[in-house]
């Protein structure tokens, strides 16, 4: 049986900084992962608040007069929507999706899946995304130009863009780039020190667990077998570091999420990730291979330009 959605966490804004995550040391000498048991998630939002507290110092502060991006004539600005907590934004890197299925509520913590072979990192033309040795996929915000290629190739549209910030503002505002892309980095700094992600340590029901990736996968398989449930993340997009277990098929969850997305304005639909089972990794398609070959020389040029820009900036200071 599902647990119904709980009311918000009382006094959530008073949550302590999630450095408490360091209290439970984890073996991070190899690949790590997250196991999320949807039968235990009450939708309280503690994970969302913990993520905000942990990362608020890194949130973007755009200029007042954001330049219009050429040639689109548009830009993405979420700075006046910082309080949104029911979707992914540059100011909200994890949230709890509530899917209504057969009169019951399934609560699903959503954030970056940290794929085994992340197309976002492999196709970044500026080479500012990488998958670390332990598993988190991270973005170097200081070098990101906000081209959003990472979002285009992510089957869940995870990275979100904020205009008016980033290196492009120092190079050619309005002519190069579109801002900076932001997403969950699995609290890579805490993981590097043997800790666990803030969202995991803040979960009051133990719905989220963190540890060696293979161990998390085994826990998911055991739990799915125990409840006759379903696993998501083990094979999707070629495999990820996040393993969900649900008592209902993910086809139904994805359908429920799709229904919610239709209620949102078109520009906001990419802020609510779906959960279509068996989604294919873009890099495994013919189009993905062609794109990767086309981007490779551009990435080299961009990397050289970025290095030159940094050298110029350093010499002008």
Where in the chain are the domains?
A: 31-76+108-316
pLDDT of 229 reads 98
How do 32-37 and 242-246 pair as beta strands? parallel
Rounded-to-10 torsion of CA 50, 56, 57, 60 = 150
pLDDT of 126 reads 85
User: Tokens representing 189?
Assistant: 């700094």
Handedness of CA 221, 223, 229, 235 (dihedral sign): negative
Question: What number is the average pLDDT over the span 20-39?
Answer: 78
What whole-number distance in Å separates Cα of residue 193 and Cα of residue 102?
43
Question: What number is the average pLDDT over the span 222-237?
Answer: 98
pLDDT of 292 reads 53
Residue with the larger pLDDT of the pair 262 and 61: 61
- The DSSP letter of residue 230 is E
The per-residue pLDDT for range 251-295, each reduced to its tens digit, is 999 999 999 999 888 878 999 999 999 999 988 876 665 555 455
pLDDT of 91 reads 98
Q: Pick from 168, 159, 115, 119: which is nearest to 139 by CA?
A: 159
CATH architecture of the domain with residue range 31-76+108-316: 2-Layer Sandwich (3.30)
Residue 123 has a CB neighbour count (10 Å cut-off) of 22
128 touches 139 (CB < 8 A): yes
pLDDT of 29 reads 78
The average confidence (pLDDT) of the chain is 86
pLDDT of 104 reads 92
pLDDT of 5 reads 32
The per-residue pLDDT for range 141-173, each reduced to its tens digit, is 999 999 999 999 999 999 999 999 999 999 999
| pLDDT above 70 for 193 | yes
Residue with the larger pLDDT of the pair 37 and 11: 37
């Amino acid at each position: 049986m599902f647990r119904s959605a709980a009311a918000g966490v009382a006094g959530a804004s008073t949550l302590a900084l999630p450095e408490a995550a360091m209290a439970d040391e984890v073996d991070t000498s190899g690949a790590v992962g997250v196991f999320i048991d949807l039968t235990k998630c009450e939708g309280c939002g503690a994970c969302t608040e913990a993520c905000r507290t942990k990362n608020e110092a890194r949130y973007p502060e755009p200029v007042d007069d954001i330049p219009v991006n050429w040639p689109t004539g548009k830009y993405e600005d979420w700075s006046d929507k910082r309080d949104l907590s029911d979707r992914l934004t540059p100011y909200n890197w994890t949230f709890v999706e509530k899917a209504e299925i057969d009169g019951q509520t399934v609560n699903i913590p959503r954030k970056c899946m940290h794929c085994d072979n992340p197309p976002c990192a492999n196709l970044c033309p500026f080479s500012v995304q990488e998958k670390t040795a332990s598993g988190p996929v991270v973005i170097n915000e200081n070098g990101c130009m906000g081209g959003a290629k990472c979002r285009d190739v992510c089957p869940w549209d995870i990275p979100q863009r904020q205009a008016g910030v980033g290196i492009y503002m120092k190079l050619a505002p309005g002519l190069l780039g579109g801002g900076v892309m932001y997403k969950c980095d699995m609290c890579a700094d805490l993981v590097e020190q043997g800790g666990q992600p803030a969202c995991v340590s803040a979960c009051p029901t133990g719905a989220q667990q963190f540890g060696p990736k293979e161990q998390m996968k085994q826990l998911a398989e055991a739990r799915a077998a125990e409840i006759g449930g379903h696993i998501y993340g083990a094979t999707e997009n070629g495999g990820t570091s996040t393993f969900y277990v649900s008592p209902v098929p993910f086809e139904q969850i994805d359908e429920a999420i799709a229904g919610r997305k239709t209620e949102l304005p078109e520009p906001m639909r990419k802020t609510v990730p779906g959960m279509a089972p068996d989604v294919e990794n873009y890099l495994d398609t013919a189009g993905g291979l062609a794109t990767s070959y086309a981007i490779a020389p551009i990435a080299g040029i961009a990397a050289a330009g970025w290095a030159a820009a940094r050298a110029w900036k350093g010499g002008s200071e």
